[in-house]
Structure 1
């Protein structure tokens, strides 16, 4: 195996014996001189195939503790579901958990009205979510609220499914949303960053919700009013995006606008606004 480039102290880019670029993990692996041949493979604790440039960005964004908990959860998920999970689930889930912890610390809890539907239709995925919450409490000392179970389960479910197109203009519409955000805040979004990749995933989910016309819950309606008063500049941007989406046949209710506000705000935070 050839080590190519340090990502951080415990992660590096490498080439396997077949010449495929991978991410490798190992205690202190980033301290190795690079590029170089690595003959002692016992130094590698985990390898990650089919990774993207955005995954490298995420490794340097979330804490190593969250990455490790996410890896444990993914191993448990593979044991329960099999090998049909997205190989990048560890990084996708780590990003979700990082955001869930951030929301909890800010006392921003979104009630998911589909909780009982998910528990009924996807018992294995909900069991994995319960395991995830338990592991986070045990290893990080953070007790996530029950409302986060649905979000974690949805990440597992989505990793099993082939991504469905919302419509023929989906990609163009999401690009218009990104351009609107850039114009609103005089900023440039890095389209290669993991934060943007996750933003795109959240926008695809939002467009599906808007098409399906899911109902707003009373708990989220009150939270929506609170958040829009706390981040008025994000609220103004989201109001503009809502007009754009309505014109394209995706009307947003208050709950969807809350969801959009949280993720626009997070994207701006990640871009250093």
Structure 2
């Protein structure tokens, strides 16, 4: 890693071994260095890169647009968010989230209030990420002496969700969230009651649905041994969950163009049965 430009004592623009621009963060990493000087690995605590789906093509373009104070608070928000979510995040979150915060502050100054139509869904589907979003809004309000609308918590939460997966950027994460909500709506209608969204089984089911949807969108085929045998056994053992899975299959194939195999149906049945039969699981 070679030094290119100091942003402050603890943040610098650098170049990695492949010649790509990166932002490096670490105590003293930007202090009294000259261009081209190697940066000791022991000084680097975090590295952030431009992702293939990011709107900025070069780090220097990002740095020229986003104030350093926004970058500083974004780094703090990411660190606190990691402690809440307890999951690995993609390096590019610094750039995408800082960009979002920058424009959220700009909208506030102009008196523009943009409502997030998925606010309620995000709050319930991604509770840990939403808590990280709430804390982020608090930190932003304190740092910039503003009062961002509460809906910003759900928008920031989506950045934490998107950063956990190699999905297709924020637009795809929004589409996936909408589809998950559609599937839960089918289940609520089928069973005639709300699901226990506080249970561990529900959290696992949401994770399964996300990967299930991504596989469908990428045309990836899930396959395992004895799937037809398991499909036959489970459809007889869990007839109500089987009928619910059939409704999901029909809706997703008609509305989204999915092609849901018996292998996927096996996993759907198992998760549906768990999340609806153990309503008090925690």
Q: Aligning the two structures, in what range does the TM-score lie when normalised by the shorter sequence?
A: 0.5 to 0.7
Contact 2:13–2:21 under 8 Å retained in 1: no
1:61-110 Cα distance to aligned partner (Å, 9 max, x none): 11111111110111112112234211111111100101111112112212
**Is 1:119 aligned with 2:123?**
yes
Contact 2:159–2:170 under 8 Å retained in 1: no
TM-score, L = length of structure 1? 0.53
Q: What is the CA–CA distance in structure 2 between the aligned matches of 1:33 and 1:66, rounded to whole Å?
A: 25
**Is 1:47 aligned with 2:46?**
yes
Q: What is the CA–CA distance in structure 2 between the aligned matches of 1:38 and 1:112, rounded to whole Å?
A: 42
Alignment of 1:1-273 (within 5 A): 2-3=2-3, 5-6=4-5, 8=7, 10-15=11-16, 22-25=22-25, 29=30, 32-38=33-39, 46-51=45-50, 53-164=57-168, 201=169
Q: What is the CA–CA distance in structure 1 between the aligned matches of 2:134 and 2:75, rounded to whole Å?
A: 15
Question: Which residue in 2 is equivalent to 1:190?
Answer: none
CA shift for structure 1 position 60: 2.3
TM-score, L = length of structure 2? 0.51
Larger Rg: 1 or 2?
A: 2
Distance 1:87 1:112, change over 3 A: same
The count of corresponding residues between Structure 1 and Structure 2 is 176
CA shift for structure 1 position 146: 1.1
Contact 1:66–1:97 under 8 Å retained in 2: yes
Q: What is the CA–CA distance in structure 2 between the aligned matches of 1:49 and 1:202, rounded to whole Å?
A: 18
Q: What is the CA–CA distance in structure 1 between the aligned matches of 2:116 and 2:110, rounded to whole Å?
A: 18
Runs of 4+ in 1 over 3 A off after TM superposition: 7-10, 18-22, 25-28, 37-42, 49-56, 201-212
Q: Which runs of 5+ in 1 are unaligned?
A: 165-200, 215-273
Distance 1:19 1:97, change over 3 A: closer
Distance 1:57 1:115, change over 3 A: same
Q: Which runs of 5+ in 2 are unaligned?
A: 52-56, 183-282
Matched position secondary structure for 1:92: helix
Question: Which residue in 1 is equivalent to 2:257?
Answer: none
